[in-house]
Amino acid sequence: MEIVMHGWVFLNYVVLTVDCINDETFIWENIMEHRNYNKYIRKPTVNQSEPIEVDIEIALYTIHSLDMKDQILTTSLGIRMSWTDNFLTWDKSLNGTTNEISAPISEIWKPDVFLTNYAEKSNIFGDNNKRVNIYRNGLVEWHDDIEVKTYCFVDSTRYPFETENCKLHFSAQHLNDQEQKLTIRLPDNFLNLFKSNGEWHISSPGKIRNYTTIVNFNGRNFSSVVLHIEMDRRQTYYVWKFFVPTISITLINIVTFFLPVNSGAKVALSTFVLLGFSAMIELFNESLPSSSNNISYFGSLLWCLLGISGLILAVNVIITVVYKTGVCERFCSILNCENEGNNTNESHNMIQMHSKNLCVYGFCPTRCCATDGHNRATKQKYRTSRDNPTQEACTLKTIKIISSIEDTDPDKEPQQSPESGSDSKKLLEKDKDKDKTNEDIKDEVKEKQSTIRTKQRRLKSYACYVVCFFVMLTPYLVTYFYFIVKLFVGRENENVA
C-alpha cells in the first residue's frame, strides 16, 4: 500500500512539472511563431509616438586600476536593465499560472545602449546566451556583471595625493531621445557592494553620483546617462615612496655644511644629493601622463629642490677649491707681512685689521691665519728676504761698540787688561742669555696667543657653518611650506566645485 502511495505522489509531481514546462514552452512558441515576433523592429511599442523607457541600475563592485600614463580606468560593474516590450505579453487566464518565463537575450529586442568613452570596445550585450526574465505584462529584466575599461582624463595637479573624478557615459547610437529614453539609478545598498582596493577607495555615498543628460551628435539628440565616480587615492604607499625619501635627501644636503673641508666629503655628498633628486624626478615623471595641461605640484617641488641642491653644490665646490689651493692662506699671509720702508703704524694696523676680518670670522679655513713661518715664507717669496733676528741683534751691538770706539780720542792708546777682557765677555754672555730668555718668553706668548686665536677661529668658523645651515634651511622650509599648502589646502572645496 505504501508503495502505491509513493508512486502516486511521484506521478503527480512529474505531471505538474511537465505541465509547467509545457506552459512556458507554449507561451514562448505562441509569442515567437503565432504572433510573428520580430526582434529587429525599431522599438517594441504599440504606440510608436511614445518613447520606450529603459531603466538602468548600476552597482560599482570595485576599481581595479587607474593607469595614470594611459589614463585608462578599469572597473567591475553590475548592470541591471529593464524595459517593457508590448509584444511579449500573455493572458494569465489562458496560460495557466505562469507569470514569468526566461529566454536568451539574443532572441528578443535589445535596447540601444552603448558605452561611449570605452578604451577597449565591448558590447554590453555581448553574451548572447545570457538569459533574461520576461513577465506576463511585458516587463523584461536583464542582469550581467561586466568588466569595462574607460578613458578617464586625470588631473595630475595634486598627484600623488589627489582625488580623481571619472565618468562612465552610456548613450544610444541609433534611437534618438524621442524614440528611447534612458534613466539611471543606484541600488539601495550600493556602497556596501563596493570593495575598495589597495590604491583607491570611496569614502562616502556622495562620491558616486548619477544623472541623465542629452547628447547632440550630427544634429540629433540622444538620451544619455552618466555614472560619476569620485575616488580618493590611498596615500601611505606614495608617502613612503616619494615624500619620505625627498625629506631625507634634503636633510642630508643641509648637513654637508658641518663636514670638515679637508675630509673631501662635502662635494661628494652634495653631488650624491643632486643625483638623488634627478633620479627621483625621473621616477616621478614615469608615472605621469605626457600632458602639458596640468603641472604636478609635487613635481614642481622636486625641481625646486634640485635647483637648491645645485646651488649648495656650487657653494661647497667654491669652499673646497679655496681651501685646497691655499688662496686664502696666501692672501692672509701677505696681509700679515710687515711692510718695510715708509709704512706708518696706521697702515700697519689697517692691514692687521683686514687680516683679522678674513681669518677670525671664519671666511678662511682654520689653518689660514698665517704663523711666523708662513710670514717668513711669504716675505721671502714676495719681498727681499730679511736677516735672522738674532743676527740682527748681534749686528746692532757690534755697531754700538764700533761707534763708542770711534768717539774716543784717537791719540790715546787703548789700555787693555785681562780683567777688563773677562768682564766684557761676561757682559756679552749675560746679554746673550737675556736675549735667549726674552725670545723664549716671546715664543711661549706667541704660542699661547696662537692657540687662543685658533680656538676663536674654530668657534667663529662653526658659527659661520651654523649661519650657512640656517640660510640654506630657510629656502627649503619656504619651498616645502608653499607646496604643502598647494597640495592639501583647499582640495575639498575644489572637488565640491
Grid cell, residue 123, equals 558590447
C-beta of residue 20 within 8 angstroms of C-beta of residue 93: no
Same domain, 181 and 266: no
Grid cell, residue 186, equals 543606484
The CA distance from 272 to 91, in Å, is 84
pLDDT of residue 430: 65
The CA distance from 61 to 197, in Å, is 11
pLDDT of residue 61: 92
The mean pLDDT of 326-350, rounded to a whole number, is 51
pLDDT of residue 224: 93
pLDDT tens figures, 473-491: 788 888 888 888 877 775 5
Contacts of 278 (CB under 8 A, 6+ apart): 306
CATH code, 82: 2.70.170.10
CATH code, 450: 1.20.58
Same domain, 139 and 268: no
Q: Looking at the DSSP assignment, which residues form a beta bridge with residue 114?
A: 171
Same domain, 464 and 453: yes
Most confident of 42-51, 79-88, 120-129, 316-325: 79-88
Assess if residue 13 is contained within a domain. no
| Least confident range of 76-85, 129-138, 295-304, 456-465 | 456-465
pLDDT tens figures, 99-113: 888 888 888 999 999
Domain end (from 199, 233, 267): 233
Same domain, 213 and 307: no
| Least confident range of 139-143, 166-170, 385-389, 420-424 | 385-389
pLDDT tens figures, 220-237: 999 999 999 999 988 888
Domain end (from 202, 233, 264): 233
| Least confident range of 23-27, 74-78, 229-233, 311-315 | 23-27
Question: Does the structure show a pLDDT above 50 at 124?
Answer: yes
Assess if residue 173 is contained within a domain. yes
Helical H runs in 136-289? 190-193, 236-238, 244-254, 265-286
Same domain, 30 and 152: yes
Coil, strand or helix at 465: helix
The average confidence (pLDDT) of the chain is: 75
Assess if residue 389 is contained within a domain. no
Same domain, 278 and 219: no
Which of the pair, 268 or 2, is modelled with greater confidence?
A: 268
pLDDT of residue 360: 45
Reported confidence tier of residue 96, pLDDT bands at 50, 70, 90: low
The mean pLDDT of 463-468, rounded to a whole number, is 72
pLDDT tens figures, 402-446: 455 444 444 444 454 555 556 666 666 666 666 667 677 777 777
Question: Does the structure show a pLDDT above 90 at 181?
Answer: yes
Same domain, 268 and 227: no
Question: Does the structure show a pLDDT above 70 at 454?
Answer: yes
Assess if residue 174 is contained within a domain. yes
Reported confidence tier of residue 3, pLDDT bands at 50, 70, 90: low
Assess if residue 101 is contained within a domain. yes
The mean pLDDT of 393-409, rounded to a whole number, is 49
The CA distance from 230 to 288, in Å, is 19
Reported confidence tier of residue 292, pLDDT bands at 50, 70, 90: low
Reported confidence tier of residue 94, pLDDT bands at 50, 70, 90: low
Most confident of 8-17, 283-292, 348-357: 283-292
C-beta of residue 305 within 8 angstroms of C-beta of residue 250: yes
Assess if residue 155 is contained within a domain. yes
Same domain, 240 and 223: no
Q: What percent of the chain has pLDDT over 70?
A: 68
pLDDT of residue 484: 81
DSSP characters over 268-329 = HHHHHHHHHHHHHHHHHHHTS-S-SS---HHHHHHHHHHHHHHHHHHHHHHHHHHHHHTHHH
Same domain, 308 and 225: no
Domain end (from 233, 251, 283): 233
Q: At what angle do helices 297-325 and 244-254 cross, to 10 degrees?
A: 20
Question: Does the structure show a pLDDT above 70 at 168?
Answer: yes
Most confident of 206-215, 283-292, 390-399: 206-215
pLDDT of residue 342: 45
Assess if residue 465 is contained within a domain. yes
Question: Does the structure show a pLDDT above 80 at 43?
Answer: yes
Same domain, 157 and 183: yes
Q: Count of domains in the chain?
A: 2
pLDDT of residue 487: 75
Which of the pair, 357 or 296, is modelled with greater confidence?
A: 296
pLDDT of residue 329: 56
pLDDT of residue 457: 67
Domain range for 483 is 235-328+441-496
C-beta of residue 94 within 8 angstroms of C-beta of residue 159: no
The CA distance from 55 to 20, in Å, is 30
The CA distance from 270 to 434, in Å, is 56
pLDDT of residue 385: 41
Torsion of CA 103, 108, 113, 118, to 10 degrees: 60
Q: What percent of the chain has pLDDT over 90?
A: 19
| Least confident range of 96-100, 303-307, 462-466 | 462-466
Same domain, 239 and 227: no
Which of the pair, 207 or 376, is modelled with greater confidence?
A: 207
Tally Cβ neighbours within 10 Å of residue 456.
17
Reported confidence tier of residue 27, pLDDT bands at 50, 70, 90: confident
Same domain, 155 and 261: no
pLDDT of residue 367: 46
Assess if residue 289 is contained within a domain. yes
